[in-house]
């Protein structure tokens, strides 16, 4: 990978410094405005780095750390898998092979290899509605869940993305992977994006909001066909996931556990234990790739106790059910 970043891990500090300087600059609007812009940028950073998984999906992963967090959270994209036919583990020139054109793009503001020049509205339309500024559809894996992001949080995230240091990273091999027709059907099936996020004091509603954005249901529900959840089995586990994608040499399947309060699920985990589990697994301990997972532990461990507590509170409201048999479809 040819990624280079001038500021590397100092980026969040830079963003805060720049935003703070805004307060001192008399031409940039009132001090109140600057403070609220500052708060929005911090909210955007928080969501992008944690529950919305922007950094997690859009940065090269470290396969040797539990949960495969970014090597560097630079949003510079992941190299596209360029494969010969005989490298398809399915052993045939199947539809899966075509999806090897799918890779996580560089979303830094580099004007040539990234999304420099995209407006805030265009960035939001990409991650919530799956449309590029030129109208090309993006794969639904990203936006099916992010469609639930509220207008105010979407603004905050897009503002933060625009402050990222540009990284030059070309991604040969990337290509269209979804037809406009399938895109339109999938988008029309979703409830409209909300204007506002639930108040954190409305804990269960806020917890649900976070689980929607954080793809918890998406990963912890069995699917028997692409995009087809097994009916009545939300959050009961049993989805089959390739760690690192099915093309990566040494990739294997993990099966997601049950997140309902059933004893076979997380019934034994109280609120404090639930938060402690994320703190423990999110420490970034070393594991061999052969035992790694798709659960984004490190990203989620960046969430506050309050937010993880809200997620737990929402999960407690689900009907307790035994763990589902693994689905027929693997992701």
Kindly state whether residue 294 participates in binding ligand HEC, applying the rule CB under 6 A.
Answer: yes
The minimum distance between CB 30 and ligand HEC, in angstroms, equals 28
| 40 is an interface residue for ligand HEC by CB under 6 A | no
Count of residues near ligand HEC by CB under 6 A = 43
Residue 54 is a binding residue for ligand HEC (CB under 6 A): yes
Which of 11, 45, 68, 139 is close enough to bind ligand HEC by CB under 6 A? Answer: 139
Residues 79 and 100: beta-carbon distance below 8 Å: no
DSSP string computed for 189-247 = TSPPPPSSPPPTTSHHHHHHHHHHHTTHHHHSS-EEETTEEPTT-TTS---EEETT-TT
User: What six digits make up the tokens of 137?
Assistant: 């559809």
211, 221, 236, 260: which one binds ligand HEC (CB under 6 A): 211
Q: How many residues does the chain have?
A: 331
186 is an interface residue for ligand HEC by CB under 6 A? no
Q: What SS3 class is residue 131? A: strand
Our CB check for ligand HEC shows the closer of 177 and 248 to be 177
127 forms part of the interface with ligand HEC (CB under 6 A): yes
Q: Provide the token pair at 173.
A: 């091999």
What is the distance of C-alpha 223 from the center of its chain?
A: 19
Residue list 78-107, contact with ligand HEC (CB under 6 A): 102, 104-105, 107
Could you tell me which residues come within 8 angstroms of residue 243 by beta carbon, excluding any fewer than 6 positions away? 68, 251, 252, 253, 254, 289, 292, 293, 294
Rounded distance between C-alpha atoms, residue 11 and residue 316, angstroms: 37
Site for ligand HEC in 301-330 (CB under 6 A): 311
Q: Does 161 bind ligand HEC (CB under 6 A)?
A: yes
DSSP assignment letter at 129: H
At 254, is the secondary structure helix, strand, or coil? Answer: strand
Least CB distance from residue 27 to ligand HEC, whole Å? 29
Alpha helices in 87-194 (DSSP H): 95-98, 120-129, 140-146, 151-162, 180-188
182 binds ligand HEC (CB under 6 A): no
* Residue 67 Cβ vs ligand HEC, minimum distance, rounded to whole Å: 7
The interface with ligand HEC within residues 219-278 (CB under 6 A) comprises 219-220, 241, 254, 256-257, 259, 266, 277
Task: Please pick, from the candidates 15, 131, 146, 301, the single residue that binds ligand HEC as defined by CB under 6 A.
Answer: 146
Binding site for ligand HEC (CB under 6 A): 48, 52-54, 57-58, 102, 104-105, 107, 115, 123, 126-127, 132, 138-139, 141-142, 146, 157, 161, 177-178, 211, 214-216, 219-220, 241, 254, 256-257, 259, 266, 277, 293-296, 300, 311
């Amino acid at each position: 990978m040819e990624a280079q970043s001038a500021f590397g891990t100092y980026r969040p500090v830079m963003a805060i410094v720049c935003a703070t300087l805004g307060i001192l600059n008399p031409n940039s609007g009132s001090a109140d405005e600057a403070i609220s812009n500052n708060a929005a940028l911090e909210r955007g950073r928080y969501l992008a780095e944690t529950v919305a998984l922007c950094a997690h999906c859009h940065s090269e992963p470290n396969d040797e750390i539990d949960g495969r967090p970014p090597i560097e959270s630079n949003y510079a994209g992941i190299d596209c898998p360029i494969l010969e036919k005989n490298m398809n583990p399915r052993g045939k020139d199947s539809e899966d092979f075509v999806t090897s054109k799918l890779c996580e793009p560089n979303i830094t503001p580099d004007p040539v290899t990234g999304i420099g020049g995209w407006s805030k509205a265009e960035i939001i339309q990409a991650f919530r509605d799956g449309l590029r500024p030129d109208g090309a559809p993006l794969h639904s894996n990203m936006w099916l869940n992010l469609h639930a992001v509220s207008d105010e949080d979407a603004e905050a995230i897009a503002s933060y993305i625009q402050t990222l240091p540009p990284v030059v990273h070309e991604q040969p091999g990337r290509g269209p992977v979804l037809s406009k027709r399938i895109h339109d059907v999938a988008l029309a099936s979703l409830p409209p994006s909300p204007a506002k996020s639930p108040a954190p004091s409305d804990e269960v509603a806020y917890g649900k909001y976070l689980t929607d954005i954080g793809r918890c249901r998406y990963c912890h529900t069995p699917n028997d066909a692409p995009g087809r959840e097994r009916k009545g089995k939300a959050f009961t586990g049993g989805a089959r996931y390739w760690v690192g994608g099915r093309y990566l040499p040494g990739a294997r399947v993990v099966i997601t556990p049950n997140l309902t309060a059933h004893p076979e699920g997380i019934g034994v985990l109280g609120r404090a234990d639930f938060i402690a589990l994320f703190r423990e697994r999110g420490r970034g301990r070393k594991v061999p790739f052969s035992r790694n997972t798709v659960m984004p532990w490190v990203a989620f461990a960046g969430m506050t106790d309050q937010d993880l507590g809200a997620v737990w509170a929402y999960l407690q409201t689900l009907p307790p059910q035994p763990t589902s048999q693994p689905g027929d479809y693997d992701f």
